[in-house]
Amino acid sequence: MKILFLKCGAANPEMAARCGDYEDWFRDAMDGVEWDLVETYRGPWRADVRDYAGVLVSGSPQSVTAPEPWMDEVAAMVRDADQRGRPVLGVCFGHQLIGWAYGGRVVKNPRGWELGTHEVHLTDAGKQDPLFRGLSHGLHVNETHEDAVDETALPPSVTVLAHNAQTPVQAIAAGDHVRGVQFHPEIAGPVSREYCLRRAPLIGEARAHDLARRATDTPNAIKVLDNFITLFVRRG
Q: Is 14 assigned a catalytic role?
A: no
Whether residue 184 lies in the annotated active site: yes
Catalytic residue among 19, 92, 118, 177: 92
The question of whether 92 is a catalytic residue gets the answer yes
Please say whether the beta carbons of 142 and 119 come within 8 A.
Answer: no
| Among 114, 186, 194, 196, the one annotated catalytic | 186
Among 8, 184, 194, 196, the one annotated catalytic? 184
Residue positions annotated with a catalytic role: 92, 184, 186
